[in-house]
Amino acid sequence: MKYLEKEELNLFLEAAREHGIENDYFTFITLAYTGMRAGELCALKWSDINFEDQTVSITKTLYNPTNNLPKYKLLPPKTKRSKRTIHLDGFVLEELKKLKGIQNQVKMAHRDGFYDGDFIFTNYKKHLGYPEIIKTIERRMKSLLKKVELNSKLTPHSLRHTHTSLLAEAGVSLEGIMDRLGHADDKTTKLVYMHVTKTIRKEASEKFSDLMKSVWSQ
């Protein structure tokens, strides 16, 4: 199973905060806390976030097979169920507000050269303001994983599996997880869920047994 344990996720996000460049920290916080696909993240616009209701609407995905930033396309998500509105943690919303402030400063400094497509996760180099590409996110994640000596073969999609595993550990139902991820049916999600819940059930049995042993020994 390609996902991070909660302690590993915390270590990775701390690395993104301490050693990340440009959007790294905000990117990985959002992926980790929402379970959205990288293409969905790259397509996000500020208008998709309702800060008052604490929700984000996922209605599109970024398509850019040539990795040429200006030649991006916005397409419908993978499936009908992929179009969804999910709740955002207050912590994530506060971090995104900080990103908005940074982006506004860049806009002010480059009024004539900033492509204002309302995108949240934008490029800050040659093509200012254009939506970031998945390849860059993959490269930055690999670098940060190596920095903290975690499995560098993990990808942004692994954070989606991580989100699944931690929701399962928190006791969220499979139906609730599938709804949040925008899945009608997904074998990998079910495997991650069953793996985690099986471990939890085993721990519950062992804890009960230990409790009874302590009674018998009295």
Which of 84, 161, 163, 183 is the catalytic position? 183
- The β-bridge partners of 49 are 56
Which of 160, 161, 163, 180 is the catalytic position? 160
Active site residue 193: yes
Active site residue 201: no
Active site residue 110: no
Which of 25, 33, 37, 130 is the catalytic position? 37
Catalytic residues: 37, 157, 160, 183, 193
